[in-house]
Chains A and B, each alone.
Chain A
Amino acid sequence: AQSVTQLGSHVSVSEGALVLLRCNYSSSVPPYLFWYVQYPNQGLQLLLKYTTGATLVKGINGFEAEFKKSETSFHLTKPSAHMSDAAEYFCAITTGGTSYGKLTFGQGTILTVHP
């Protein structure tokens, strides 16, 4: 069984400040990890993913995340927040093979960006 825990259901930052959204996972097999973003009344959009290889992954819109096996973490960061980053962010986990698209999601973190 796998699970994902997102620490903090709401995060508020000022424009230009660092964004840090936390995600910890539990998995008995090597995980594949994802961050998705959801804007109001829209579907989910993939920000970035970790499958194998380099543990620091870069995604769209200046976001990146680092897979840390020892800490079972996959935190999402962005050096400088922009107003357009305001949205809900979901961390998700899956295993490979035919179960690849069967994602287990965290509860989500709503990011608010203040001017």
Chain B
Amino acid sequence: GAGVSQSPSNKVTEKGKDVELRCDPISGHTALYWYRQSLGQGLEFLIYFQGNSAPDKSGLPSDRFSAERTGGSVSTLTIQRTQQEDSAVYLCASSFVTGNTGELFFGEGSRLTVL
């Protein structure tokens, strides 16, 4: 596709359920990033992939959060045993290179609401 695609665009779940959020980056982009946007915390970095490996996962808030990337393309962010504080918009971004010239292209986000 032309841009970064994220699904679902909206997800409502009950506390304690697991959720999966998907990101389909721009074709050929080697770097992929997950960010979280919430009212209380603003925009926060979660994790970064270079290819299929994640050199930096320092922003994941707890061990309930995990992410993987397969085939150097699609990434899935999984939140286990969701809590109300997980409610946020989860943004994915991709870039062509990881050096100093790569521009990040953001998707429209997945809005997660935990009841």
In contact, B33 and A96 (Cβ under 8 angstroms): no
Partner of B98, one of A43, A46, A98, A106: A98
* Residue contact A101 to B100, C-beta cutoff 8 Å: no
Measured as residues with beta carbon below 8 angstroms from the partner, the interface class of chain B is: 20 to 34
Do residues B42 and A98 form an inter-chain contact, with CB atoms below 8 A?
Answer: no
Contact A99 B4 (CB under 8 A): no
A18 adjacent to chain B (CB < 8 Å): no
The contact string, 1 if C-beta is below 8 Å from chain B, for chain A 69-93, is 0000000000000000000001010
A98→B55 contact, CB < 8 A = yes
Q: Are A43 and B48 in contact (CB under 8 A)?
A: no
Interface of chain A residues 30 through 63 with chain B (CB within 8 A): 32, 36, 41-46, 49, 51
- Is B108 interfacial (CB-CB < 8 Å)? yes
User: Taking chain B's interface residues, is the majority helix, strand, or loop, or is none over half, making it mixed?
Assistant: strand
User: Nearest-CB distance from A41 to chain B (Å)?
Assistant: 7
Residue of B nearest to A106 (CB): B42
B98 and A45 contact, CB distance less than 8 A = no
- Whether the pair A103, B45 counts as a contact (CB closer than 8 A) is yes
In the complex the two chains form, is A51's CB within 8 Å of B108's CB?
A: no
Please judge, given known A-B contacts A100-B102, A101-B93, whether A108 and B42 are in contact too, CB under 8 Å: yes
Q: For chain B residues 91-114, which have a beta carbon within 8 Å of chain A?
A: 91, 93, 95, 98-104, 106-109
Residues in B with CB closer than 8 Å to A99 are: 56
Minimum Cβ distance to chain A for residue B38 (Å): 12
**What are 7 of the A-B contact pairs (CB < 8 Å)?**
A42-B108, A43-B4, A51-B100, A92-B43, A102-B33, A103-B45, A103-B104
- A residues near B (Cβ < 8 Å) are 32, 36, 41-46, 49, 51, 90, 92, 96-108
